[in-house]
């Protein structure tokens, strides 16, 4: 930096410290001045502010700069430029008429003269056949000149003391390798002379345009209007720069990809630069250069919501964090140089980057392992092939000698960057980022973190990029942890679960940072798919749906929104649905179910399900398969995980059968109790599903497998309570002939009572692995003899609990209870994904 520039910065900083808080610079983007109504709004916003000096930089009306560039190229290419020129001229004249009304004539005459000059220039370009750089810069900066004239004229018509400053009269810049550099002494001198002639307290300034050292008209490049705002804030020695746009400040992520992105209250200059580099909608780093050297705060405000405080960018941010924001840079490729001959050889990295520099290929990110076996860098995809050829040429000899094995190019890469000053010195930030991506099944191709620790960047496949951003955003609690939920089988249990989910949805989002989105429900014959994830009115929507159930489409829809996590809840009793579990888990979809077909089905399928879950990291939760809402599986899992050993299991696993034999005392016929239980909804639609004992046997198999026993349903000795003569009857016929059960049960009850015992339907797994379920006689002192209503009870005999078994007891039947058990599994999965539960 030159000594004169240092002196200018020092004198500017001293003046800034001494000046009162009364000089404020503003910059308005194209969306803020899109039409006459927006100009009026901006004028009202400025007039409402009590500022001694107000320096306001304006952009061209929205879309005008691109239209002007299009005119220049159309003229140079020999295409019709007059039609779009007339449309652009008409837009400005109409805006002037609407904005200024009775005072419009002078400005309209001025605009006509300006557009006539533009037409002459375009005609010259059509003759030359190519747009010179000077002509193009002259043309593309005219929109700001028109815009500044419109706003200043409107303020003057309102009686304000206002002056319009054409930046081409004051601002002097030079173009170099690092971009546009301001000639501060020359610009300050010109501004001082201009202010002597124009002492008005309100100044409307053209953004984007300037002159170079040879006094030629030039521009500051794209995002140049923001840069103009910072430059004139420095020249006017403003205390703050307010950049007015169409968002509530800087957001924690792109709201198009993360709808729950939140505005950030404050950022440091360093944080803003890091976010801006990777494409976040933040101030361009060049814009912050004048602000950083002077300690000038920049406020990003929403001109559509001026009451919102926006984001303050200054030397120091705030304590929020450790990660302030995440940003995604798409359209990249990974270039990887790999070879054993590179290990320990000085200058290898220098040769790689020199080759890319000479090929004019910009490097976005660099990563090298400590082994030095490979160097990889991320480049723009449009330059990727050029970069690969350049590196291949630079290492042609090593490639020929097999010292370097490969120059690999991987396309369709995006870089996700996590940024925050609070990351420095905070353990576990990288772990949280990588853990969030792992749980979302996102593979990381390359990693980079600087010594400042305020940025961790990861390269991922572009197909996973949106999901990665959402997962990381939720992982740092910048938004709710969002889960795409699909339910199969909206019967009694499924319906009760959906009602419970609807009742808890808002509370979970508010208190646990958990957003459970019900995006699909599938019944036996039809299904509905939803984008919003709203549980309200699910029954009516399912009934109104004409879409036939297709579990392939059901699954694809759940994953189509690129939400970070997907859960399928199977509340059916279908073996065909259970067949899909392994595939879902392998794809990273979490599966929760009260369906016993998977846990007690074919052993090979069970092994495949567990292997798929272990390989992918997806969760398979099935607590409700054994004890409805009781923590039976979880208790056994805790015992085993802490080193205990299971000796035997004994229990009453059927709420239906528990109720029947708790009530059966011989005073009423057994068939009457079955009909009563059926009417209360305690039994399956066909009571034989309960009376057969198969359901109880399945639960015993599930517990045995949980304990590591390779038990199958065929290995369980099952006593069915359904007589052979009634097993093949139709359901209606079975209910009509229920009385045929009474004699046999009366005899068994009488025999048990004569011995002072009671009948209970019990499942048993003994120390030798023998498994049985059936009706047994128990003494009245037995724990199983005193159950209430539909209670289930399980006794675990283990190495620790050998003399006094561990008992789990409670209600084990009913849709509400079972649904609550499934819901609890869902919340456990959510907790492993980062929800605050």
Task: Report pLDDT digits (tens) over 270-287.
Answer: 888 888 766 566 677 778
pLDDT score at 11: 41
- Cα–Cα dist 470/465, whole Å: 9
Residues 114 and 39 in one domain: no
Residues 558 and 681 in one domain: no
**Both tokens assigned to 813:** 């039947």
Per-residue three-class SS string for 560-610: HCCCCEEEEEECCCCHHHHCCHHHHHHCCCEEECCCHHHHHCCHHHHHHHH
Q: Would you put residue 481 in left (φ > 0), alpha (ψ -120 to 50) or beta?
A: beta
- Cα–Cα dist 151/39, whole Å: 6
Residues 67 and 56 in one domain: no
Q: What 3-state class would DSSP assign to 825?
A: helix
* Sequence-separated (6 or more) residues with CB below 8 Å from residue 299: 240, 241, 242, 243, 309, 310, 311, 312, 313
Number of C-beta neighbours around residue 782 at 10 A: 14
Helices (H) then strands (E): counts for the chain: 32, 30
Does residue 42 contact residue 317 with C-beta atoms inside 8 Å?
no
Does residue 322 contact residue 422 with C-beta atoms inside 8 Å?
yes
Residues 269 and 345 in one domain: no
The helix (H) or strand (E) run that includes residue 406 is strand 406-419
CATH code for the domain in which residue 450 is found: 3.30.2130.10
- Cα–Cα dist 210/125, whole Å: 22
Residues 237 and 209 in one domain: yes
Q: Cα 66 to chain center, whole Å?
A: 32
**Both tokens assigned to 330:** 């798409």
Residue in 21, 30, 29 with CA at minimum distance from that of residue 49: 21
Residue-wise DSSP of 651-678: EE--HHHHHHHHH-SSSS-HHHHHHHHH
CATH code for the domain in which residue 150 is found: 3.40.1160.10
* Residue 837 maps to a domain: no
Residue 203 pairs in a beta bridge with: 55, 163
CATH code for the domain in which residue 733 is found: 3.30.360.10
Residues 657 and 750 in one domain: yes
- Cα–Cα dist 519/561, whole Å: 10
pLDDT score at 289: 85
Residues 686 and 652 in one domain: yes
Half-sphere exposure of 465 (CA within 13 A, CB side): 22
* Sequence-separated (6 or more) residues with CB below 8 Å from residue 470: 257, 258, 440, 479, 482, 562, 563, 564
Using the 3D structure, point to which of 261, 285, 314 is the last residue of a domain: 314
* Residue 670 maps to a domain: yes
Residues 416 and 453 in one domain: yes
- Measured CA to CA in angstroms, residue 192 lies from 189, 198, 208 at distances of 5, 10, 20
* Residue 320 maps to a domain: no
Judged on CB neighbours under 10 Å (0-12, 13-18, 19+), 735 is middle
The helix (H) or strand (E) run that includes residue 679 is helix 670-680
Residue in 252, 275, 283 with CA at minimum distance from that of residue 265: 252
* Residue 175 maps to a domain: yes
Quick one: angle between helices 492-512 and 815-832, nearest 10?
Answer: 40
Q: Which residues of the chain have pLDDT under 50?
A: 1-20
Residue with tokens 């028109």, as numbered in its chain? 146
Q: What 3-state class would DSSP assign to 261?
A: coil
Residues 428 and 490 in one domain: no
Does residue 30 contact residue 60 with C-beta atoms inside 8 Å?
yes
Judged on CB neighbours under 10 Å (0-12, 13-18, 19+), 264 is buried
The reply to whether omega before 322 is within 30° of 0 (cis) is yes
From 27, 467, 596, 699, active-site residue: 699
* Sequence-separated (6 or more) residues with CB below 8 Å from residue 686: 731, 734
Task: Report pLDDT digits (tens) over 51-85.
Answer: 999 999 999 999 999 999 999 999 988 899 999 99
* Residue 818 maps to a domain: no
Residue-range definition of the domain harbouring residue 788: 633-813
Q: How many residues can be counted in the chain? A: 837
CATH code for the domain in which residue 584 is found: 3.40.50.720
Residue with tokens 């065929």, as numbered in its chain? 714
- Cα–Cα dist 196/187, whole Å: 14
* Residue 319 maps to a domain: no
Using the 3D structure, point to which of 475, 504, 522 is the last residue of a domain: 475
Does residue 314 contact residue 297 with C-beta atoms inside 8 Å?
yes
Residue in 647, 665, 833, 659 with CA at minimum distance from that of residue 748: 665
* Residue 519 maps to a domain: yes
- Cα–Cα dist 523/508, whole Å: 26
Number of C-beta neighbours around residue 833 at 10 A: 24
Residues 700 and 797 in one domain: yes
Residue in 343, 205, 322, 210 with CA at minimum distance from that of residue 268: 322
- C-alpha triplet 702, 708, 713: angle, nearest 5°: 40
Residue-wise DSSP of 129-144: SS--HHHHHHHHTHHH
Number of domains in the chain: 5
Per-residue three-class SS string for 175-197: EECCEEEECHHHHHHHHHHHHHH
Using the 3D structure, point to which of 475, 492, 515 is the last residue of a domain: 475
Active site residue 699: yes
- Measured CA to CA in angstroms, residue 673 lies from 408, 652, 668, 680, 817 at distances of 74, 18, 7, 10, 22
- Cα–Cα dist 808/126, whole Å: 88
- Cα–Cα dist 590/500, whole Å: 20
The helix (H) or strand (E) run that includes residue 66 is helix 64-76
Residues 387 and 283 in one domain: no
Residue with tokens 């646990």, as numbered in its chain? 512
Does residue 180 contact residue 227 with C-beta atoms inside 8 Å?
yes
* Residue 724 maps to a domain: yes
Sign of dihedral through CA atoms 630, 633, 636, 639?
negative
Judged on CB neighbours under 10 Å (0-12, 13-18, 19+), 197 is exposed
- Cα–Cα dist 283/288, whole Å: 7
* Backbone phi and psi for residue 307, each to the nearest 5 degrees, phi listed first: -75, -15
Q: What 3-state class would DSSP assign to 643?
A: coil
Residue in 189, 281, 288, 186 with CA at minimum distance from that of residue 231: 288
Residues 617 and 528 in one domain: yes
Does residue 366 contact residue 348 with C-beta atoms inside 8 Å?
no
Alpha helix segments (H runs only) across 491-547: 492-512, 538-544
Does residue 419 contact residue 323 with C-beta atoms inside 8 Å?
yes
């Amino acid at each position: 930096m030159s000594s004169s520039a240092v002196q200018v910065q020092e004198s500017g900083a001293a003046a800034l410290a001494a000046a009162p808080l009364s000089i404020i610079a503003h910059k308005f983007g194209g969306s803020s001045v899109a039409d006459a109504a927006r100009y009026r709004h901006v004028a009202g916003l400025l007039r409402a502010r009590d500022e001694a000096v107000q320096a306001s930089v304006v952009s061209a009306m929205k879309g005008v700069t691109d239209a002007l560039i299009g005119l220049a190229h159309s003229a140079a290419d020999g295409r019709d430029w007059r039609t779009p020129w007339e449309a652009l001229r008409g837009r400005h004249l109409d805006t002037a008429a609407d904005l200024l009304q009775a005072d419009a004539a002078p400005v309209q005459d001025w605009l006509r003269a300006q557009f006539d000059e533009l037409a002459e220039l375009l005609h010259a370009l059509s003759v030359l056949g190519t747009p010179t750089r000077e002509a193009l810069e002259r043309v593309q900066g005219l929109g700001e000149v028109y815009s500044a004239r419109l706003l200043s004229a409107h303020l003057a018509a309102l009686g304000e003391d206002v002056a319009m400053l054409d930046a081409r009269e004051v601002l002097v810049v030079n173009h170099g390798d690092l971009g546009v550099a301001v000639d501060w002494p020359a610009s300050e001198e010109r501004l001082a002379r201009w202010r002597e002639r124009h002492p008005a307290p309100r100044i409307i300034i053209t953004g984007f345009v300037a002159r170079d050292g040879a006094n030629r008209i030039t521009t500051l490049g794209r995002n140049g209007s923001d840069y103009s705002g910072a430059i004139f804030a420095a020249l006017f020695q403003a205390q703050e720069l307010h950049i007015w746009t169409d968002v509530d400040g800087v957001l924690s992520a792109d709201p198009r990809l993360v709808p729950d992105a939140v505005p950030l209250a404050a950022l440091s200059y360093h944080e803003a630069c890091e976010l801006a580099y990777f494409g976040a909608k933040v101030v361009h780093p060049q814009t912050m250069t004048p602000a950083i050297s002077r300690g000038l705060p920049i406020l990003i405000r929403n001109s559509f919501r001026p009451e919102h405080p926006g984001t303050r960018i200054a030397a120091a941010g705030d304590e929020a964090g450790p990660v302030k924001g995440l940003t995604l840079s798409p359209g990249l490729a990974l270039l990887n140089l790999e070879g054993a001959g590179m290990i320990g050889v000085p200058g290898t990295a220098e040769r790689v980057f020199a080759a890319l520099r000479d090929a004019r290929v910009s490097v976005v990110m660099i990563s090298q392992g400590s082994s030095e076996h490979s160097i990889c860098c991320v480049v723009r995809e449009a330059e990727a092939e050029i970069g690969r050829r350049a590196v291949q040429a630079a290492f042609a000899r090593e490639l020929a000698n097999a010292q370097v094995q490969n120059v690999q190019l991987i396309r369709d890469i995006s870089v996700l960057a996590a940024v925050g000053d609070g990351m420095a010195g905070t353990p576990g930030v990288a772990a949280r980022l990588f853990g969030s991506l792992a749980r979302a099944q996102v593979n990381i191709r390359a990693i980079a973190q600087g010594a400042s620790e305020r940025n961790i960047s990861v390269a991922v496949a572009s197909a996973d990029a949106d999901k990665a951003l959402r997962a990381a955003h939720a992982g740092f609690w910048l938004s709710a942890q969002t889960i795409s939920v699909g339910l199969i089988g909206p019967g009694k249990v499924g319906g009760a679960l959906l009602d419970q989910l609807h009742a808890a949805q808002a509370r979970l989002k508010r208190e646990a940072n958990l957003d459970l989105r019900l995006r699909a429900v599938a019944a036996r014959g039809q299904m509905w798919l939803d984008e919003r994830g709203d549980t309200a009115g699910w029954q009516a929507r399912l009934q109104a749906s004409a879409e036939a159930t297709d579990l392939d489409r059901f699954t694809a829809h759940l994953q189509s929104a690129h939400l970070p996590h997907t859960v399928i809840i199977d509340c059916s009793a279908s073996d065909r649905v259970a067949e899909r579990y392994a595939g879902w888990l392998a794809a990273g979809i979490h599966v929760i179910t009260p369906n016993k077909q998977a846990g007690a089905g074919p052993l090979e399928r069970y092994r495949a399900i567990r292997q798929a879950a272990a390989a992918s990291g997806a969760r398979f939760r099935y607590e409700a398969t054994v004890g409805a809402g009781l923590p039976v599986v979880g208790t056994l899992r805790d015992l085993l995980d802490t080193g205990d050993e299971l000796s035997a299991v004994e229990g009453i696993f059927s709420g239906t059968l528990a109720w029947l034999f708790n009530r059966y005392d011989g005073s009423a016929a057994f068939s009457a109790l079955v009909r009563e239980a059926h009417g209360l909804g305690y039994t399956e639609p066909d009571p034989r599903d309960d009376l057969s004992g198969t359901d109880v046997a399945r639960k015993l198999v599930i517990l045995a497998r949980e304990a590591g026993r390779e038990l199958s349903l065929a290995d369980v000795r099952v006593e069915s309570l359904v007589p052979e003569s009634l097993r093949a009857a139709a359901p209606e016929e079975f209910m009509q002939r229920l009385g045929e059960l009474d004699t046999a049960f009366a005899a068994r009850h009488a025999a048990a009572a004569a011995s002072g015992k009671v009948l209970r339907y019990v499942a048993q797994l003994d120390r030798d692995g023998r498994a049985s379920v059936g009706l047994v006689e128990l003494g009245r002192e037995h724990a199983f003899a005193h159950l209430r209503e539909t209670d289930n009870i399980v006794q675990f005999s283990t190495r620790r609990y050998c003399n006094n078994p561990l008992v789990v007891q409670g209600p084990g039947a009913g849709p509400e209870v079972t649904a609550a058990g499934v819901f609890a599994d869902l919340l456990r999965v959510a907790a492993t994904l980062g929800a605050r539960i």
